[in-house]
Amino acid sequence: MATLLLLSKRATAAEDVLPSLSLLNHKVQVVPAEASSLLEGPRVDALLLDARTDLAACRALCRVIQTTGKDLPLLVVVTEGGLTAMSSDWGFDDLVLDTAGPAEIEARLRLATTPAQGERDVIASGGVVIDEAGYAARLNGRQLDLTYTEFELLKYLVQHPGRVFSREQLLSDVWGYDYYGGTRTVDVHIRRLRAKLGPEHESIIGTVRNVGYRFVVKP
């Protein structure tokens, strides 16, 4: 069981921010989203920041947290729509959607609170290098500026080179069973991902007509 500190401007209960958290056996204390809460708060294993609204203020608080000297994992809770505003300069350790199920929340908490051992987990295929621990992706040495979902989508495809996935499969495995959006969101993210890969490399994400998408390893 982990002890968690949830910083939120509006919520007074953890289930208001992350409903599935109430299904897990963790001790959660909700405090105002301000730096003083860290200085006066109890000893905890990780921080959760409610960033479902007022992203500018949450970003500023993330940066303040880095200056407090508190060496604690920071997980930011966001909505699907807020993912596009996320970037590495926020200084968080991980992101979790407010609709995430208990299994995903537990996995992310475990990853964040477990001390890193050994080398980073790196996946490489067809010129794409995925650094899971650093949440970074590179194409032929060029850093890709990806959103959280774009990163997870690219990682999933690279992990299964040549295998074709339907839109429904990708929704289930990348977005999770908790996601209730339509399959069109997959097409939108694939289009954005291809744009960031660039015209010379966009074809590494291939379309299989009437089926879905796959990662293409070129000879």
Q: What is the mean pLDDT of residues 124-141?
A: 85
User: Do 54 and 62 form a contact (C-beta atoms < 8 A)?
Assistant: no
Question: Same domain for 96 and 20?
Answer: yes
Average confidence score pLDDT of the chain: 85
Q: What is the mean pLDDT of residues 18-47?
A: 85
Nearest to 95 by CA among 112, 76, 72: 76
List the beta strands (DSSP E) in the chain.
Answer: 3-8, 27-32, 46-50, 74-78, 94-97, 122-125, 128-131, 136-139, 142-143, 165-166, 205-208, 212-215
Domain stop point among 82, 113, 144? 113
User: Do 96 and 75 form a contact (C-beta atoms < 8 A)?
Assistant: yes
3 state SS of 108: helix
State the pLDDT at residue 78.
92
Question: Same domain for 60 and 151?
Answer: no
Q: Rounded to an integer, what distance in angstroms lies between the CA atom of residue 47 and that of residue 112?
A: 10
User: Do 210 and 204 form a contact (C-beta atoms < 8 A)?
Assistant: no
CATH at 169: 1.10.10.10
What's the pLDDT band for 6 if we cut at 50, 70, 90? very high
Range of the domain at 25: 3-113
Judge whether residue 178 has pLDDT over 60: no
Q: What is the mean pLDDT of residues 181-207?
A: 91
Biggest CA-to-CA distance, the chain: 58
Question: What is the sign of the dihedral through the CA atoms of 168, 170, 175 and 178?
Answer: positive
Domain stop point among 48, 82, 113? 113
Question: Same domain for 97 and 36?
Answer: yes
Q: Total structural domains in the chain? A: 2
Question: Same domain for 99 and 174?
Answer: no
Q: Rounded to an integer, what distance in angstroms lies between the CA atom of residue 217 and that of residue 206?
A: 10
Judge whether residue 38 has pLDDT over 90: no
Question: Same domain for 12 and 109?
Answer: yes
Q: What is the mean pLDDT of residues 112-118?
A: 62
Question: Same domain for 57 and 127?
Answer: no
Question: Same domain for 65 and 152?
Answer: no
Question: Same domain for 49 and 81?
Answer: yes
Q: Rounded to an integer, what distance in angstroms lies between the CA atom of residue 24 and that of residue 21?
A: 5
Q: What is the mean pLDDT of residues 104-121?
A: 71
Question: Same domain for 134 and 89?
Answer: no
Q: How far is CA 217 from CA 4, 21, 170, 187, in A?
A: 42, 39, 19, 20
CATH at 65: 3.40.50.2300
Question: Same domain for 99 and 171?
Answer: no
State the pLDDT at residue 179.
55
Q: For the whole model, what pTM was predicted? A: 0.54
When comparing pLDDT for 1 and 105, which is higher? 105
Question: Same domain for 103 and 136?
Answer: no
What's the pLDDT band for 69 if we cut at 50, 70, 90? low
Strand partners, 215: 205
Q: What percent of the chain has pLDDT over 70?
A: 93
Q: Which two tokens stand for residue 7?
A: 């910083």
Domain stop point among 80, 96, 113? 113
Question: Same domain for 33 and 72?
Answer: yes
